Structure 1
């Protein structure tokens, strides 16, 4: 579709809610669906048009709800199906959309399908999961291959009832579904997708959506981690041979019955040319995807949870990751997304900017300018709008809850025999990129437990909640929250440039401190100039060559109005956006 009549989701501002940590109404220390409903006026006022709700399905919670035991029911601490019906209605009554997580690469080992599948090799569900015989070496039983789980350890778990191993790319309580089985696929579509579309939801964020199709020979992976028994095997299960066939089948057999359904896919470890195959409008597979190059910066890709090898990325690496995502639409019929945070990442303020007290609020506004001026569907994560940042470095491992982080820490602990320096290194990595950073409770006000709960929170509240919270920022016209609201409104006002702008170009690629880019209006008559200072120091502006003296209008800056003036240089963590109009462009 053209920019003049786009799909509803292209210009939508989306907000991800992680239910356990969002808002608790019954004092059990866990967020719930009534809590979400109570904050809809706040989200509407912010400018949010679509809510993405992370898994709220019934689950044993071995991986925070990504291990689903029943797609058609709700995890009791979160509420009921009736609560979900009310949430859908309350969103739609406000003109807002609601999308859910679609987790169909795997289920919980407590799901009725798996409980039946594990009983024998001949029952109705026997082939609904990925089962393989043991490899026998010198009379001893071994896993079918050396594949390493994404969370560390073997990707195979032995099941005595069948004398076979089942595949689990994540934790052992998350067995992978066998997408090669047509009956299993039909059951997935009916239970996980149609059940909720029939209730009126508007789409899905699709978890691990390029992992369904595996190399069915399950060969050993090449050795990349020397001295390790189990090896990263992404080459054998990412973007597998039948992925596109199955996504087209899903669209044609199910989604097309429901109109313009948003399907935004999680697509890690994927090159741009391959991404295009998923999101081309003509292919009709996914609406758009999250490209993970930005949020994977500085992490050991394929390292199997080795967070202690995390390093700080450079600004040129950051620019290149942004460029890849922005160029996806260049000369194509594809669409893209804009995000810096989700439930699996450290906070963007700590990872990509600074959480130093003197610069924190200004840096949060700078990142808001960056995100709101990039082309694509905008995704905010809960708490991002108030500048929530990573947990303090002094926190110990006892505060962590994430299975991936705990596995990574315990791996170091075992391997290095409790060596204190190794454990310090492990905690430093987790403090930067660990998933618990995003899962701390939302800081609503300065009361006990940040107004998240009247009970004992399931995970510790950030130490700084009295200074950083929604109530304080709603009362402050200079707050990050007020600035986000302003930027979202500005993005809507200048949608053709900010949401749909083309010809993204970086003008200072190798500069380690400043990020300068331009974008053009689709009609070619207007341009945006964006200058972002990613440092604690005064920086010169890097004007695009030949455009230094161009007449331009300051559209927005993150300096405090009435207190600071836009000057010759960029002050620390300053952002400014200039608009150049048609008459000027024709005149130089």
Structure 2
């Protein structure tokens, strides 16, 4: 496949739905599939034509659906299989495609495979999961290795029935599948075919970087003060997983006109992304990386009350790294956040200047090359939640880390303060549809806290305001899809300008047109000079009609897109 070969998924505008928090249609406090159907016209009007929906499968909800107990059925929280079929049908009527979250790394401990696997060491399903004996150290039994879990503590959980440990790199209720077993691969491939035959258009592949494991179950020698070592390379981005993905592509994906985007997380290199999603890799179409998600000081704060400050120089380096190293070799997704990161308005924007800073962020990101994915509520500038106590959180990983931190003598208030900046629960508060009880998400108390600022930040009010962030997002997406400029924005080259400037992010896209994008990332004025001439102003968040690039005075968060002569 050529990089410039036109594909629907290269030209699509994506939108991620965290189903539990999107829209409650039946007044039980939980978002559901009929709630998505109810909002399809809103999404079409926004300019979206691709939905990524987080897991809707049957699940005990230890991790909000990423712990699947039945891949072939819908969680009762979310509706029925008939609802899913109706959603697919109604979306297609509006020109909207749907990709589902494909959970490949683990199941729930309530999945029939695991129920069988834990019964005995010689059960036919034993090898569907990763079991190891404990080690004896100083006369005491300990875990097979000292590897950490992403959710805190060990990545091993002892099962008393057989006296062995199963691997679980996330929650103890989410045992990891053994992809080295061909029966596991066949089972997962058959499940994927089921959903593709039902009419979905592809998958976001969850935790795909972890489906291969080191076969040497030896302690990590990583230098760390932690009892369990966060040595993710023991089960992340290992070579053998590419064999599994090639087989998945050959057996399943190649037989359908679908798209796949994998989650490879932080630390992956562009060269590794090309292995996953290179034009001729025959694996996936693109992969999400997290390199640009933490370009600020939230992990370095000395006190929770200290200001969060964007490190634009680092962010520009990350954009340069992925925009230039993948161009012509692999496709790229564009996104500010997903369900696992804080709200972008609180990360990189200014909650007191929501429209200006939010429009700047949209301008900066969505004119680069790649397939955009807007996260629900981003388009109205939803912000982080004001967490005060551990009871305000829902995330199992936060609860686990809290217990560990308190047992080690950490201060409760400091833990809450730091976690409030960083927690993925920020992205999971219900969408604020209107200034009404529960933010219009539901008529009853929702499953999770509604941000109290729904009074001033909500879809209904922004739809009525021509100067709202929501209506600016519509302009961004309309320009990106404009027939005169789409080829340039989708397939054109990328070249940063003002590379050493620590206040302004800018770049030129070149194809049949030459388009310049300039954004002032901060709440200050700045003067810059560029040796170009403006042919036409395409978009400005100050509604400016003229720009002199040789004497350019940028106001706070000022951003614009211009066609160059």
Match of 1:217 in 2: 216
Partners of 1:100 and 1:251 in 2: how far apart? 16
Alignment of 1:382-401 (within 5 A): 382-392=376-386, 395-401=388-394
Deviation at 1:262, TM superposition (A): 0.7
Deviation at 1:514, TM superposition (A): 1.4
Q: Residues 431-479 of structure 1, C-alpha deviation per residue, up to 9 Å, x if partnerless?
A: 2221111001101000111100001111111111011111001111111
Pair 1:338-2:334 in alignment: yes
Pair 1:516-2:506 in alignment: yes
Partners of 2:129 and 2:544 in 1: how far apart? 59
Match of 1:539 in 2: 526
Deviation at 1:138, TM superposition (A): 2.9
Give the direction of change, closer, same or farther, for the CA distance of 1:509–1:430 in structure 2 (3 Å limit). farther
Give the direction of change, closer, same or farther, for the CA distance of 1:39–1:428 in structure 2 (3 Å limit). same
Alignment of 1:136-175 (within 5 A): 136-175=136-175
Partners of 1:578 and 1:309 in 2: how far apart? 37
Alpha-carbon contact 2:4-2:491 (below 8 Å) kept: no
Deviation at 1:511, TM superposition (A): 2.5
Match of 1:492 in 2: 481
- Residue 454 of structure 2 aligns to a residue in which SS? coil
Give the direction of change, closer, same or farther, for the CA distance of 1:542–1:337 in structure 2 (3 Å limit). farther
Match of 2:374 in 1: 380
Match of 1:559 in 2: 542
Alignment of 1:221-236 (within 5 A): 221-226=220-225, 228-236=226-234
Q: Structure 2-normalised TM-score?
A: 0.94
Give the direction of change, closer, same or farther, for the CA distance of 1:289–1:399 in structure 2 (3 Å limit). same
Match of 2:250 in 1: 252
Give the direction of change, closer, same or farther, for the CA distance of 1:300–1:554 in structure 2 (3 Å limit). closer
Give the direction of change, closer, same or farther, for the CA distance of 1:128–1:46 in structure 2 (3 Å limit). same
Deviation at 1:388, TM superposition (A): 0.8
Pair 1:410-2:403 in alignment: yes
- 545, 553, 569: which one aligns with 2:553: 569
Alpha-carbon contact 2:270-2:326 (below 8 Å) kept: no
Deviation at 1:482, TM superposition (A): 0.6
Match of 1:506 in 2: 496
Match of 2:206 in 1: 207
Alignment of 1:118-517 (within 5 A): 118-191=118-191, 193-226=192-225, 228-257=226-255, 259-268=256-265, 269-298=267-296, 312-330=309-327, 332-355=328-351, 357=352, 359-392=353-386, 395-416=388-409, 419=411, 423-493=412-482, 494-502=485-493, 504-517=494-507
Q: Report which stretch shifted further, 242-251 or 398-407.
A: 398-407
- Residue 276 of structure 1 aligns to a residue in which SS? helix
Q: Residues 159-181 of structure 1, C-alpha deviation per residue, up to 9 Å, x if partnerless?
A: 12222100001111111000010
Q: Residues 395-453 of structure 1, C-alpha deviation per residue, up to 9 Å, x if partnerless?
A: 33321111122223333222125x3xxx3332232222211110011010001111000
Match of 2:562 in 1: 578
Match of 1:584 in 2: none
Q: Report which stretch shifted further, 342-351 or 526-535.
A: 526-535
Deviation at 1:562, TM superposition (A): 9.2
- Residue 418 of structure 2 aligns to a residue in which SS? helix
Partners of 2:308 and 2:269 in 1: how far apart? 22
Deviation at 1:313, TM superposition (A): 4.7
- Residue 317 of structure 2 aligns to a residue in which SS? helix
Partners of 1:323 and 1:459 in 2: how far apart? 38
Alpha-carbon contact 2:147-2:228 (below 8 Å) kept: yes
Alpha-carbon contact 1:446-1:466 (below 8 Å) kept: yes
Give the direction of change, closer, same or farther, for the CA distance of 1:337–1:84 in structure 2 (3 Å limit). same
Partners of 1:336 and 1:460 in 2: how far apart? 33
Q: Residues 16-48 of structure 1, C-alpha deviation per residue, up to 9 Å, x if partnerless?
A: 101110000111111111111000011011111
- Residue 242 of structure 2 aligns to a residue in which SS? helix
Give the direction of change, closer, same or farther, for the CA distance of 1:183–1:148 in structure 2 (3 Å limit). same
Alpha-carbon contact 2:298-2:422 (below 8 Å) kept: no
Give the direction of change, closer, same or farther, for the CA distance of 1:299–1:100 in structure 2 (3 Å limit). farther
Q: Structure 1-normalised TM-score?
A: 0.91
- Residue 325 of structure 2 aligns to a residue in which SS? helix
Unaligned runs of 5+ in 1: 582-588
Match of 1:585 in 2: none
Partners of 1:180 and 1:150 in 2: how far apart? 22
Alpha-carbon contact 1:291-1:325 (below 8 Å) kept: no
Give the direction of change, closer, same or farther, for the CA distance of 1:310–1:254 in structure 2 (3 Å limit). farther
- Residue 553 of structure 2 aligns to a residue in which SS? coil
Partners of 2:130 and 2:293 in 1: how far apart? 30
Match of 1:77 in 2: 77
Deviation at 1:105, TM superposition (A): 0.5
Q: Residues 481-540 of structure 1, C-alpha deviation per residue, up to 9 Å, x if partnerless?
A: 1111111010011111212221x222333332211222211x5xx322221111111111
CA RMSD in angstroms, aligned pairs only = 2.3
- Residue 464 of structure 1 aligns to a residue in which SS? helix
Give the direction of change, closer, same or farther, for the CA distance of 1:452–1:564 in structure 2 (3 Å limit). farther
